[in-house]
Every structure is written in C-alpha cells, then in structure tokens.
C-alpha cells in the first residue's frame, strides 16, 4: 500500500466525494488534494532543513488534514498539536523537535508567542496564487522517512516524540483494511483529536479506502445534546473511540441502533474494554461487530485484534486483546528479557514493521525502550501480559504510566510539574481506582510556606500554575495536604492510605 498514491487515486476518480466533514463544512477529496498541492509547493520554496518536522496547530478543522498532506508531500513529517495542549508544552515540543515552521490551521491567532518557529497562518497559505505544476512524487515522504511524530507524556517531565515512518503507517493501514470489515468507502467517526494516535485508526484507513470522516469536536462532546444530534446527522458506519468515550455515550438510553442505523463496526483501542460495555453494545447495536485492539503509539496505534462476540464474552470474563497482526510478533519476557512460557505473565514486547525507530532526538530514552530482535525493530511496552490460546491478555502496567478517561500519562510527569510549584515541598500522585478503572487522580502534597487561609485557595493557586504546563486532563481532580506523607512499613509512600483519606 502506498498511502499518498491511494489518496491521489480517490482525488482523481472521485474528486467531489467528501473526505472530511467537520462542524458543518465538508472537504472533498479534490479540495484536499488541490489545497495540499498548493501548500506543499509553497513549503518546498522555504529552504527548510531536509525532513525537518512541521507543527500543525488546530483542533478538527479541515485545514488540519490539508496541512498534514501538504507536509508529507513536501517531504516533511508533521507534528499534530491539538488546541487543548497548553503553550508552555508547545514551546517544549518546538524546541525538542527542531521544527522551523508551524502551520496555524485555526482561524485565530496563537494564544502565545513561540520563540523558535515561523508561524504560517493556513488561510494565507491557502490563498496563495495557483501553482503551475504538480509537486513531484519524488518529494513525498516514503519508506523509512518520518510521516508523523506524535508527542506523548514523558516521565522526566518533558513529552517525547514518537517517530512514525511511511513504512510503519502503511503496514498499519494495510492491516486495518485487510483484517477489519471497513474497506468499502464507508463513513467513519473521527472522535480523537489528531494529537492522539487513536485518531490515526480512523484517519488513514478512511482516506486510503476513499471513505468519509465525520468529526465530533470537543465543543460538541462537552454538550451531550449537541453530540447526539451530530452523531445522528453523521450516519456513520465505523465507530472508533476509547472505551471510556463509548461508555459515556451508553449512559444515554438513546445511544442505540435507532440513532446510528448503519453502524456496522466498533473499533476500540487505548485502554481496557470492559465486558459490560461490550455486552451493552451488542444488545443496543445487534447488527454491529465489535473489535478490541491493543497497542501503544510507539507501535503505530494497534497491533492486535479480537472480535468481541457473545461466545468470547461467555468464555472470558476479562476480555483478551487478541492476536497480533500477521507481520508482527508479540513476545512475553521476564525481568532478564528472557521469553517466558505460554500462560506466564511478563512484559509485552512488540516486534515487527509497525514499531517506531524511536523518540525524536532522544537516543538515551530510545535505547531504553527500543532494540532490534532477529533483525527487526522491537519495543518494550512496559505493559504486563500473558499469552493463552494464541491470544494476548493485558494485565496492567509495570511502571507509573496510566490511562485516565482514555488519555495516556506518566504520573511522574505530573509530579515533576507540581513539585516545581512554589507552594509545594513534596508531592505524590495517586490514581483513585474503582472496579479496576482509574476514576481520577489525587495529588498528595506537603505544602511549602504560604499565606492562604483555606486549603481550597491553595489548591486553586497550584492548579492555576499547572494549567500553563499541562493539558487539563492531566491535572489531578483532588488535592490532599499532609505534614508528612503516610509511609508503609517498608518505607514506601502509602498510596492506599492516601486514597482512603480522600474518600473520607
Ligand atoms: P497510547 O500510546 O496512548 O495508545 O497508549 C498505549 C497504552 O495503552 C498501552 O501501552 C497499554 O497500556 C494501553 N492500552 C492500549 N490498548 C489497550 C487495550 N485494548 N486494553 C488495555 N490497555 C490498552
């Protein structure tokens, strides 16, 4: 599969067909192709460093897609930056990625200045004079060259950029279109913002197969009535989201076949898919198939799949994440990186062509997580799991990376930023878990000297500082203050006791 060529084919054979619908505006395949040509040819004249990344800032505007395609046509990977990412974090991404340009795909000015990059407003670029000749395919990103870079939470306090090449992405998209019933110019839901790799699960399978993406924006998601009206209008056939998002939708009894009568496939990834959620979906959407998939951003979205049928639910109270895609291998290893026997628990290692070449500009960090195995790229996931009946089962994390409402984050990154506050002497972050699901985060803090009368004022001041550095989904919901942090008998912070105190 050659992704950009596949998109070109659809633009040539069916230019009027909708590629992306967002907030009532439609971008056709023809427009996607033409506008990205114009911007790619402009980018080629900017004498940028070879293959240097281009930041694309926005939410779910059609101009985001155009900018992605323009970047890769001009030979540059893009870094998607959602508007929910605070500017302090964007500055870090600019600096660590070495990007020279940022395309602002929104209609507004950026909320703050960025010192190291040139800012190109999309509407000015797109208004540029028509181009005389097409951008040669020789410039297009290909093979092992980076196609996109997605930044995820890093335990050192800085986000890390996962490099995904054209080969990585094409291996993933080919698998999606071959092993899932989605290859027929279908209508796809686009719920995850582009800075999360879950969005890649709908974006490129849709574009490569000539389908149409229908976005639901964060403003719509914030208002259930508006969200449901938009879902109704979308009449989508393929649903991709985190289990958390569909669980939220299921709270409304009208989330059933009548709302989306043509919905035929649910794709889930990113966190545990509870059996109860699957059962409800099978009841409310009797014609739809449900797939659980598993994978980290570092191995291009997902590498295993299993169809969740009533039989599977009867056989496994905790669902498996399934079987690996045919060109990949999943290995379970012990602490000495030795393979364990089937059925034994260990760390999940992913091997094969979907595995990234590493974190951009971070050789030390990359060395810890990536290695070669039998001549192929391999990634240490930090996930615990075991293999039984040829299927992988996920058994939690081996470190402090967590998923909260579908968002990936490192507790150490949050601790790092809270510890920098002038109001804080020491901090640990404790996830509060109910029925094996993390409900919210608790910041257990020993405060520094301060002049606030009430704890809630202190909390407000720390939260305000945090909001400059972290996206809102990473800011703990509860703050608990201590003179000393409670310790267990063996001298570790007693996380359980902290959780219990907050509940009181
Ligand atoms: P991300 O890079 O945001 O996709 O997060 C990757 C992590 O999410 C994995 O390393 C797992 O810890 C978790 N994850 C992904 N898919 C699943 C799944 N189907 N079930 C349980 N956890 C999952």
pLDDT reported for residue 202: 98
User: Would you place residue 498 in the very low, low, confident or very high pLDDT band (cuts 50, 70, 90)?
Assistant: confident
105-130 average pLDDT score? 86
- In 3D space, the residue among 374, 376, 396, 378 whose CA is nearest the CA of residue 386 turns out to be 396
Q: Above 80 in pLDDT, residue 501?
A: no
What residues line ligand 1, using a CB cutoff of 6 Å?
152, 197, 269-273, 292, 294, 296-297, 321, 381, 383, 394, 397, 403, 408
pLDDT tens string 186-226: 999 999 999 999 999 999 999 999 999 999 999 999 999 99
Q: Above 70 in pLDDT, residue 490?
A: yes
Residue 248 lies in a domain: no
Q: Which atom of ligand 1 is nearest to the CA of 321?
A: 19
- Burial letters 127-148, b for 16+ CB under 10 A, else e: eeeeeeeebeeebbbbeebbbb
Between CA 273 and CA 266 the distance in angstroms is 12
User: Would you place residue 241 in the very low, low, confident or very high pLDDT band (cuts 50, 70, 90)?
Assistant: very high
CA of 25 to the centre of ligand 1 (A): 32
**What are the percentages of helix, strand and coil residues in the chain, rounded to 5?**
35, 30, 40
Q: Are strands 187-190 and 265-268 parallel, antiparallel or unpaired?
A: unpaired
CA of 152 to the centre of ligand 1 (A): 12
Neighbours of 151 (CB within 10 A): 24
CA of 435 to the centre of ligand 1 (A): 18
CA of 269 to the centre of ligand 1 (A): 7
**Entry pTM:** 0.94
Q: Which atom of ligand 1 is nearest to the CA of 397?
A: 12
Tokens 């001041």 belong to 461
User: Would you place residue 144 in the very low, low, confident or very high pLDDT band (cuts 50, 70, 90)?
Assistant: very high
Residue 3 lies in a domain: no
pLDDT reported for residue 502: 65
Residue 437 lies in a domain: yes
Mutate to test the pocket of ligand 1, among 197, 296, 312, 392 (most ligand atoms within 8 A of CB): 296
Q: What is the DSSP string of 207-252?
A: HHTT-EEEE--HHHHTSHHHHHHHHHHH--SEEEE-HHHHHHHHTS
Q: Nearest C-alpha to atom 19 of ligand 1 is from which residue?
A: 294
413-420 average pLDDT score? 95
Residue 19 lies in a domain: no
CA of 165 to the centre of ligand 1 (A): 20
Mutate to test the pocket of ligand 1, among 294, 406, 411 (most ligand atoms within 8 A of CB): 294
Contact by Cβ (8 Å): 1, 194: no
pLDDT tens string 153-184: 998 889 999 999 999 999 999 999 999 999 99
Q: Nearest C-alpha to atom 15 of ligand 1 is from which residue?
A: 270
Q: Above 70 in pLDDT, residue 323?
A: yes
Between CA 449 and CA 337 the distance in angstroms is 46
Between CA 168 and CA 295 the distance in angstroms is 13
Q: Nearest C-alpha to atom 22 of ligand 1 is from which residue?
A: 271
Q: Above 80 in pLDDT, residue 500?
A: no
CA-based end-to-end distance of the chain: 56
Residue 443 lies in a domain: yes
pLDDT reported for residue 251: 95
pLDDT reported for residue 112: 86
Residue 337 phi, psi dihedral angles, 5° rounding: 55, 35
CA of 270 to the centre of ligand 1 (A): 4
Three-state DSSP state, 125: helix
Q: Which atom of ligand 1 is nearest to the CA of 394?
A: 21
CA of 383 to the centre of ligand 1 (A): 8
Residue 488 belongs to a domain with what CATH number? 3.30.300.30
Question: Burial, 55: exposed, middle or buried (Cβ in 10 Å; 0-12, 13-18, 19+)?
Answer: buried
Residue 395 lies in a domain: no
Q: Above 80 in pLDDT, residue 305?
A: yes
CA of 402 to the centre of ligand 1 (A): 9
137-162 average pLDDT score? 95
Residue 29 lies in a domain: no
pLDDT tens string 470-485: 999 999 999 999 998 8
Average pLDDT for the chain: 95
pLDDT tens string 279-303: 999 999 999 999 999 999 999 999 9
- In 3D space, the residue among 267, 274, 288, 146 whose CA is nearest the CA of residue 203 turns out to be 267
Distances 19 to 12, 185, 188, 214, 424 between C-alpha atoms, Å: 13, 10, 10, 9, 49
Torsion, CA 405, CA 87, CA 411, CA 439, rounded to 10: -20
pLDDT tens string 251-268: 999 999 999 999 999 999
| Structural domain boundaries, residue 475 | 401-503
Residue 444 lies in a domain: yes
Count of domains forming the chain:
1
User: Would you place residue 128 in the very low, low, confident or very high pLDDT band (cuts 50, 70, 90)?
Assistant: low
Distances 119 to 54, 55, 125, 222, 234 between C-alpha atoms, Å: 10, 9, 11, 30, 34
CA of 245 to the centre of ligand 1 (A): 15
pLDDT reported for residue 115: 81
């Amino acid at each position: 599969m050659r992704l950009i060529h596949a998109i070109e084919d659809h633009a040539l054979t069916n230019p009027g067909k909708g590629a992306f619908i967002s907030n009532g505006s439609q971008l056709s395949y023809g427009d996607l192709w033409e506008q990205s040509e114009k911007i790619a040819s402009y980018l080629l004249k900017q004498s940028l460093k070879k293959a240097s990344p281009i930041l694309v800032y926005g939410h779910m505007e059609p101009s985001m897609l155009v900018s992605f395609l323009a970047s890769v046509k001009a030979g540059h990977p893009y870094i998607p930056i959602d508007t929910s990412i605070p500017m302090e974090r964007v500055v870090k991404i600019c600096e660590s990625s070495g990007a020279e340009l940022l395309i602002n795909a929104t209609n507004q000015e950026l909320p703050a200045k960025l010192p190291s990059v040139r800012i190109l407003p999309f509407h000015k670029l797109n208004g540029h004079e028509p181009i005389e000749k097409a951008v040669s395919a020789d410039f297009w990103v290909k093979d092992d060259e980076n196609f996109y870079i997605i930044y995820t939470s890093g335990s050192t306090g800085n986000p890390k950029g996962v490099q995904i090449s054209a080969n990585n992405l094409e291996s993933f998209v080919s698998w999606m279109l071959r092993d899932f019933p989605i290859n027929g110019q279908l209508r796809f839901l686009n719920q995850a913002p582009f800075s999360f790799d879950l969005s890649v699960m709908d974006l490129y399978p849709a574009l490569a197969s000539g389908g149409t993406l229908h976005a639901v924006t964060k403003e719509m998601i914030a208002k259930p009535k508006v969200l449901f009206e938009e879902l109704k209008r979308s009449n989508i056939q393929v649903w991709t989201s985190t289990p958390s998002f569909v669980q939220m939708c299921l709270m409304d009894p009208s989330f059933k076949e009548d709302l989306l009568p043509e919905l035929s496939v649910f794709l889930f990834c990113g966190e545990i898919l509870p059996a109860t959620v699957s059962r409800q979906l099978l009841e409310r959407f009797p014609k739809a198939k449900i797939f659980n998939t598993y994978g980290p951003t570092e191995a291009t979205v997902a590498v295993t799949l299993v169809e969740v049928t009533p039989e599977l639910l009867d056989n496994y109270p905790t669902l498996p994440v399934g079987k690996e895609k045919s060109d990949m291998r999943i290995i379970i290893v012990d602490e000495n990186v030795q393979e364990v026997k089937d059925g034994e628990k260990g760390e999940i290692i992913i091997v094969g062509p979907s595995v990234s070449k590493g974190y951009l500009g971070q050789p030390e960090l990359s060395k810890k997580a990536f290695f070669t195995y039998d001549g192929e790229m391999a990634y240490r996931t930090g996930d615990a799991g075991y293999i039984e009946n040829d299927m992988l089962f996920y058994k939690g994390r081996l470190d402090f990376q967590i998923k909260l409402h579908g968002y990936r984050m490192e507790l150490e990154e949050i601790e790092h930023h809270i510890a920098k506050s002038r109001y804080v002497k020491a901090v640990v972050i404790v996830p509060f878990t109910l029925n094996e699901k993390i409900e919210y985060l608790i910041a257990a803090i020993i405060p520094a000297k301060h002049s606030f009368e009430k704890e809630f004022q202190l909390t407000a001041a720390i939260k305000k500082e945090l909001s400059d550095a972290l996206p809102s989904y990473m800011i703990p919901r509860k703050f608990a203050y201590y003179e000393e942090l409670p310790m267990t008998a063996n001298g570790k912070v007693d996380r359980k006791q902290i959780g219990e105190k907050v509940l009181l």
